[in-house]
Amino acid sequence: MFRITTAALLISCASLSLAEEAKYNSAYARINVDAQISEEGEEQFTEVKSNNTWIGMKGNVPIEDTGLRVVYRLEWTVGINEADAGSNLTPRPQYVGIAGKAGQLHAGRDFTPVWGAVGGVDLFNHYEGDIKNLWEGENRLSSVIVYSSPKWNNVSAKVLYEAEREAGGDSATSASVSYGDKSFKHSRFFAAIGHDFDLDGHDLTRAAFQYKMDAHKIGVAVQQQKDSRVEDAETEFGTLLSYSYFDGTLDYRFQYQTMEDNSGISVGIDYPIAKMTKLFTWFTTFDKNEEDSNYLAFGIEHRFSRGF
C-alpha cells in the first residue's frame, strides 16, 4: 500500500512539473504537401512536393527574480518527398538567448531581418511563386547573433550579425525597422524597411507595406539589389503586388512580382475545412530571360499548433 501511494505521489508530482513546463515550452508542426504539374522550358513533368512542412519546439522560460527569460527555438524542415532519408531533415531557425525589457539577444541560426521585412505580403511563400525565385535576400544563416528591440508605439528594430567563421572570412550585417506585425494583432497595417550589407554576396534594400480592411488584404513591396562581388555591377529594381480576399469560406489570392525584365504571376484559392486544416490550389507562371515556366498544384495543409 505504501509503495502504491508513493508511486501515485511521484506520478502526480511529475505531472504537475510537466504541466508547469508546458506553460513555457511548446512543440509545433505543419504538414503541407501538393501534387503539381510543372512545365520548365520545353520540359513537362509531375511532382509531389513538400512545400512548408516543418517540426519544432520553442521555449520562453522565466529566470527567477531577474525579470529575464531564456528563449530558444529548434526547428527543422521535413522533406516528405525526399527519396534519400538522409536529406529528409534540414535545419531552420535554431537558437538560444536571453530576453527582457531591453529586448532579445540570441545566437545560432536564423532568418535575416530583411527576410522578415516582407511581412505577409508574399502570399505564396514556400510555393513556386515564392519571392525568392526572382529576388535576392531570402536568407537563413548560421553563426549569427541577433538583437530584437522591444516595441515602442508598435515600432521595433532588428539587427543580425553573421560571424566570419574562419580567418580571412567575411562577416555581414542585416537590419530592419518595422511597424505592426504581419498578423495585424495591434494594427490594421504592417510596414517595414530592411537592408543587407554585403550579405550572401549582395547589397540590397527591401521595403514592404500591407493593409488589412475587413476581409481584404492589400500588399506592396519594392526591392533594390546589387551583386557586391562584381565590380561595377548594375543595380536591379523589382516590385511586388499582392491581394487576398476571404469570403468566409474561400481565401482568394493574387500576386504579381518583377525584377527588371523578369516577372511572375500567381493566383490561388485556399479552402479551410477545419480550424487547422485547409485544401488549396494555385497556378504560377514565370516569364524569365532564361526560360518560361508554369506550375499548377492541388494540395492539403494541416497544422498541429496555431501561429506556425
DSSP string, 2-50: HHHHHHHHHHHHHHHHHHHHHTTEEEEEEEEEEEEEEEETTEEEEEEEE
46-87 pLDDT, tens digit per residue, is 999 998 899 999 999 999 989 999 999 999 999 887 666 566
The answer to whether residue 295 is domain-embedded is: yes
Residue 272 belongs to domain with CATH number: 2.40.160.10
Confidence of residue 30 (pLDDT cuts 50, 70, 90): very high
For residue 51, give the C-alpha cell. 512545400
Segment 224-242 shows an average pLDDT of 93
Spatial distance between the Cα atoms of 122 and 293, rounded to a whole number of angstroms: 19
Phi-psi region of 65 (alpha: psi -120 to 50; beta: other; left: phi over 0): left
User: Total structural domains in the chain?
Assistant: 1
The answer to whether residue 222 is domain-embedded is: yes
Tell which wins on pLDDT, 81 or 232: 232
Confidence of residue 5 (pLDDT cuts 50, 70, 90): low
Reduce the DSSP state of residue 195 to 3 states and report it: strand
Segment 160-164 shows an average pLDDT of 94
The answer to whether residue 5 is domain-embedded is: no
213, with CB counted inside 10 A (0-12, 13-18, 19+), is exposed
Query: Which distant-in-sequence residues (6+ apart) come within 8 Å of 65 by Cβ?
Result: none
How far does Cα 287 stand from its chain's mean position? 25
Residue 126 CA: distances (Å) to CA of 49, 117, 160: 11, 16, 23
Query: Containing domain of residue 184, as a range?
Result: 27-36+45-303
Tell which residue, 151, 218, 158, has the closest CA to residue 180: 151
Query: CA 247, 133, 173, 69: dihedral to nearest 10 degrees?
Result: 40
The answer to whether residue 16 is domain-embedded is: no
The answer to whether residue 1 is domain-embedded is: no
Tell which residue, 58, 59, 57, 71, has the closest CA to residue 100: 71
The answer to whether residue 20 is domain-embedded is: no
Average pLDDT, the chain: 90
pLDDT at 185: 87
pLDDT at 2: 43
The answer to whether residue 15 is domain-embedded is: no
pLDDT at 21: 61
pLDDT at 168: 78
pLDDT at 167: 82
Segment 95-110 shows an average pLDDT of 97
pTM (2 decimals)?
0.87
The answer to whether residue 308 is domain-embedded is: no
Residue with cell 487576398: 244
Query: Taking the alpha carbons of 99, 100, 101, 102 in that order, is the dihedral positive or negative?
Result: negative
Query: CA 44, 121, 307, 146: dihedral to nearest 10 degrees?
Result: 110
Q: Residue ranges of the alpha helices (H) in the chain?
A: 2-22, 113-117
Residue 204 CA: distances (Å) to CA of 56, 107, 163, 235: 30, 23, 19, 9
Confidence of residue 299 (pLDDT cuts 50, 70, 90): very high
